[in-house]
Structure 1
Amino acid sequence: MENTVSKLIQRHKTNCPFTIARAMGIQVRFHDLGTNTRGIYYRKLKRRFIVIHNQLSSEWQRFVCAHELGHDRLHQGISRFFLEEHSFFNPGKFEMQANRFAVKLLVFNSEIHQEETIEQFCTRHGIPEEMHRFF
């Protein structure tokens, strides 16, 4: 997974998931997805889409975009929903992998400062508190 993240960042010269997704031809959209869905990744007629719940904080929108980008890179051919009840409390294998991918992307090439906790490090990089455990 580290190699996938590294190549992606080297190719696009950024770790911003929105910039990477657009450069890869993935259309990023924002819509009201209700109370249980934070994001969706899907393919339709050779086109790829990431849809992010428009009422999330900017921190969560960035994380969800990175998470859904993880599905694109790690789980090609599988459309997955980032549902709170599956990925937040009891993540399945694909959701855990996408969460780890998102964290690795967002903290890439950054080091923990001396006397900085993992929680502080993750917060500094805009990773939502609930996702710190995937560091």
Structure 2
Amino acid sequence: MDKLIHTLTRKYKTNCPFTIAEHLGIHIRYADLGEHTRGIYYSKLRRRFIVINSRLNSHWQRFICAHELAHDRLHRGLNRFFLDEYSLSNANKYERQANEFAVQLLLKSTVIRPGETLEQFFRKNYVPVEMLKYYR
């Protein structure tokens, strides 16, 4: 995962998930996905899409874009709904990996300052503090 993030950020000269997705040909859409769904990644007819819940604030939308980008890079071809319904595989593993990828990507270009707490570090970089547990 570290090598993939390094390659993406070096190749596209950014850690912005929206810019990276654009370069990769992934279409970003916004829709009201209700209260419980923050984002969706899917492909249809060889076109890839990230749909982000329009109800979320900009920091969460950025995080969700990075999370769904992880599904494209790490889990392409897997369908969470199928895994939940018909498989013994643990879909939570893939969600955890996507969260870890998103945190690493969004924090790639910055370092913790001496005396700075992790919470302050996340806030400074506009990463939701709820994702602290995915920081390595």
- Using the size of structure 1 for normalisation, the TM-score is 0.89
Paired amino acid for 1:109: S
The equivalent of 1:3 in structure 2 is: 3
What are the superposed Cα offsets for residues 95-134 of structure 1, whole Å, 9 maximum, x if unpaired? 0000000000000032100100111111111111211111
The equivalent of 2:36 in structure 1 is: 36
Q: CA deviation at 1:78?
A: 1.6
Q: Give the aligned CA root-mean-square deviation in angstroms.
A: 1.3
Q: CA deviation at 1:79?
A: 3.6
Q: CA deviation at 1:63?
A: 0.2
Greater radius of gyration (CA): 2
Report the count of equivalent residues: 126
Paired amino acid for 1:106: L
8 Å contact kept, 2:15–2:109? no
Paired amino acid for 1:65: C
The equivalent of 1:85 in structure 2 is: none
Measured in 1, the distance between the counterparts of 2:37 and 2:55 equals 11
> Unpaired segments of 5 or more residues in structure 2?
82-90
Task: Kindly report which structure 2 residues correspond to 1:96-111, keeping only aligned pairs within 5 A, or say none.
Answer: 96-111=96-111
Q: CA deviation at 1:80?
A: 4.0
8 Å contact kept, 1:32–1:53? yes
Measured in 2, the distance between the counterparts of 1:80 and 1:18 equals 22
8 Å contact kept, 2:17–2:69? yes
- Using the size of structure 2 for normalisation, the TM-score is 0.89
Q: CA deviation at 1:44?
A: 0.7
Paired amino acid for 1:96: R
SS at match of 1:37: coil
The equivalent of 1:27 in structure 2 is: 27
> Unpaired segments of 5 or more residues in structure 1?
82-90
Paired amino acid for 1:72: D
Structure with greater proportional strand content: 1
Measured in 1, the distance between the counterparts of 2:58 and 2:109 equals 22
Measured in 2, the distance between the counterparts of 1:5 and 1:95 equals 17
